Amino acid sequence: MRLALIPGCAAMLSAPLLARAQVTAPVEPAWTWASSTESPLAVSASELSDQEADLQRACGAPEQGLRAVARVLVERRARGLGYLDLDGLTFAQRASGEPHVWPRAWIVSGRAMDHGASLKKLAAWRESFRDEGVRRCGLASGYAPDGTHIIAAIALDAIADLTRPLPVRTHAGSWLTVEARVTIPATGARVVVVGPGGEPRTVPTSFDGSRVLARFAPDRPGAFTVQLVVDAATGPRPALEAQVFADSDPPVTIPNLPSPGESEGAGAADASTSLARMLASFRKLQRLPALTRDARLDAVALGHARRMMEARTVGHDVGDGDPAQRLQNAGLSASEAGENVAHAQTVTLAHRALYQSPSHRANMQRAEFGQLGLAVIDDPDGSVWVAEVFARQLAAAGPK
Per-residue pLDDT of the chain (400 residues; tens, 9 = 90+): 323 333 222 222 233 333 333 445 578 888 999 999 999 999 998 999 999 999 999 999 999 999 999 999 999 999 998 888 777 888 999 999 999 987 889 999 998 899 999 999 999 988 876 767 899 999 999 999 999 999 999 999 899 999 999 999 999 999 999 999 999 999 999 898 878 866 668 899 999 999 999 999 999 999 988 888 888 876 557 789 899 999 999 999 987 767 888 889 888 999 999 999 999 999 999 899 999 999 999 999 999 999 989 988 777 777 888 788 899 999 999 999 988 888 888 999 889 877 765 457 778 888 999 999 999 999 998 999 999 999 999 898 765 5
DSSP 117: H
CB atoms under 10 Å from CB of 24, counted, come to: 6
Report the b/e string of 112-147 with b at 16+ CB within 10 A. Answer: ebeeeebbebbeebbeebebbbbbbbbbbbbebeee
Helices 347-356/271-285 angle, 10° precision = 30
The continuous run of DSSP H or E covering 68 comes out as: helix 64-79
Q: What are the Cα distances from residue 92, in Å, to 11, 101, 308, 351?
A: 23, 12, 27, 20
Task: Give dist(CA 208, CA 254) in Å, integer.
Answer: 37
- Indicate the SS3 state at residue 180: strand
Phi, psi of 228 (to 5 degrees): -100, 125
Q: Give long-range contacts, CB 8 A cutoff, 24+ apart: 40-46.
A: 40/64, 40/136, 40/158, 40/161, 41/65, 41/97, 43/67, 43/138
Residue among 109, 52, 55, 121 nearest 78 (CA):
109
- In the chain the first and final C-alpha atoms are separated, in Å, by 16
pTM (global) more than 0.85? no
Strands 169-170 and 235-246 turn out to be parallel
> Is the Cβ–Cβ distance between 337 and 389 less than 8 Å?
yes
Phi, psi of 366 (to 5 degrees): -70, 120
